[in-house]
Amino acid sequence: MSTTTTTTINPKTASNLSFILNKPHDVAFVDRPKPTLQNEHDVLVAVNYTGICGSDVHYWQHGAIGHYVVKDPMVLGHESAGTVVEAGSAVTELKVGDRIALEPGYPCRHCEACLGGHYNLCPDMRFAATPPYDGTLTGFWTAPADFCYKLPDNVTLQEGALVEPLAVAVHIVRQAVVTPGQSVVVMGAGPVGLLCAAVAKAFGATTVVSVDIVESKLNFAKSFCSTHTYISQRVSAEENAANIRKLAGLGSGADVVIDASGAEPSIQTCLHTVRTGGTYVQGGMGRDNITFPIMALCLKEVTAKGSFRYGSGDYKLAVELIASGKVEVKKLISEVVAFKDAEDAFKKVKQGEVIKILIGGPNEKI
């Protein structure tokens, strides 16, 4: 296998310092061996910036998400952008020096789900920072070249790190099949909820309502993309839904309702907010089992869909939405910190002090 290597970041001398979770609330900086290309279709990427996802924080706090349990030290992080420093001999679309957004999950490419165009549902998915696989809060990362997306000249590497959560939102909104002129209600104004609202607006939705329990998040949503905002009250799901419909002039309900919170009261409110014959998409993950208003689902003949990560075309569209200015992800960046401050960054996310915080790679000057 032949490769080419020339770049301003020399992988032979630069650091591969990694931010590792040993067990809940026990993290360490470890200088790990630098990865090498495993085949001629891979690229080696110097990681420039990485965002913190809620799943990263959950692993840091609890050491597990569902049946995914951290049993051995694991590198955290999966929302990353970087620079190609080495390319396998069969790579034709990328070259050394290209700035890219990393798609952090790699399917088997051979199973029924993969061959059917739904590789996000691959049972053998190797996803960064999901046990037993390491994540991208490290100096260097190897990836299949076709899971790296070249950033246009007008898209920064910091914006590139937000392609991952934007791709999640793109997938959710595509699941909802949002079309021009529709009304969309999004439960939750965290990063993914905000991006769902922004993507819905980019898709042509004329009424976009953000719902949350935190006023500051809703104030941001209004300045970012939403036409209406609603602070959820401590009342019944039916009453909250009625208030939302009245606030936004939705009549009998919204065309599309998306839950990006995973909270049981929000999910219940969704089914009372959506119109008869409308669409409801569950994007947020919460408890395994909840009390669900199945009667409302049936009587309205609501189309209900789940949404998991991202699939074919989602990353590409996310990059295009940023490049075109239709979704201004840079507005979500609250702070950029040096790699050495990674643990403090996790604490800020946990405390709700930021919308999206980015961690510079260990070779990045902040």
- For 344-365, how does the pLDDT look when each residue is reduced to its tens digit (9 = 90+)? 999 999 998 899 999 999 999 9
Residue range 3-150+328-360, CATH number = 3.90.180.10
Where do the structural domains in the chain lie, given as residue ranges? 3-150+328-360, 168-306
Quickly state the pLDDT bin for 2 (edges 50, 70, 90).
Answer: very low
Long-range contact set of residues 1-4: C-beta below 8 Å, sequence gap at least 24: 1/37, 1/39, 1/40, 1/88, 1/89, 2/40, 2/89, 3/37, 3/40, 3/86, 3/87, 3/88, 3/89, 4/86, 4/87, 4/96
Q: Which two tokens stand for residue 24?
A: 């809940």
Q: What is the pLDDT of residues 194-241, one digit of tens each?
A: 999 999 999 999 999 999 999 999 999 999 999 999 999 999 999 999
Q: Is the pLDDT of residue 290 over 80?
A: yes
pLDDT over 80 (residue 319): yes
Domain 168-306 sits in CATH at 3.40.50.720
Reduced to 3 states (helix: H, G, I; strand: E, B; else coil), residue 204 is: coil
